[in-house]
Amino acid sequence: MANQALNVVLVGPMGSGKTSVGRRLACVLKRDFFDSDFEIVARTGVAIDYIFDVEGEAGFRKRETSMLSELCEISNIVIATGGGIVIEQENRELLKRDSFVVYLSSSIEQLLIRTARSKARPLLEKSNNRKKTIRELLEKREPLYQEVADTVIDVTGKKLYAIINEIKKSIPK
């Protein structure tokens, strides 16, 4: 892990702040930043919820694996992933290979607040009970986030710079 070219990859549930933290962390570390979901949208020209509608979750997950594989070929970058990136075994193997993985953990209450106004979260859009949906997703994915994580940072109630500082301290020199 002492390789300076290690990518820093942020994983965690939707609403945990992966994109916001990743963008700022990349600036602080003087690295390029990539958001895997944004890259999929840029490549396809359509929104993620449209991909879910047309190709289903399985089709989206294939695109997600392909994008993660491409991004992992670039070195010394910061990557924010989609909340479900850890579902596929192939993705977990990619994440563990040459990256320093940071799991941004958060309370269900904070995730609810952060996703309340979002219209671009396909797994929440069809839900009649967002809290239940978030809880169920977290219960399924928590062990997978833990499996790939080199460090876990609880972001609940923390300011952006406090989170950035914790991540910086945890990155191997």
pLDDT digits (tens, 9 = 90+) for 109-126: 988 888 776 666 666 666
User: Residue 80's domain spans which residues?
Assistant: 7-162
Global pTM value:
0.91
Is residue 171 situated within a structural domain?
Answer: no
Query: What was the pLDDT predicted at 4?
Result: 47
Assigned token pair, 101: 């993985």
In a domain, 76, yes or no: yes
Q: Is 173 a domain residue?
A: no
CATH number of the domain bearing residue 123: 3.40.50.300
- Indicate whether 170 belongs to any domain: no
pLDDT at position 123 is 61
Top mean pLDDT of 25-29, 54-58, 111-115, 116-120 is at 25-29
Query: Which long-range CB contacts under 8 A does 110-115 form with residues at least 24 apart?
Result: 110/15, 110/155, 110/156, 110/157, 111/13, 111/14, 111/15, 111/16, 111/138, 112/15, 113/15, 114/15, 114/16, 114/17, 115/14, 115/15
Whether 168 maps to a domain, the answer reads no
Domain count for the chain: 1
* High-pLDDT (> 70) share of the chain, %: 90
pLDDT on residue 129: 79
Q: What is the pLDDT of residue 100?
A: 97
Confidence of residue 133 (pLDDT cuts 50, 70, 90): confident
> Model confidence over 66-104: pLDDT tens digits?
999 999 999 999 999 999 999 999 999 999 998 999 999
Residue 2 lies in a domain: no
Question: DSSP strand E in the chain: where?
Answer: 7-11, 32-35, 77-80, 99-105, 151-154
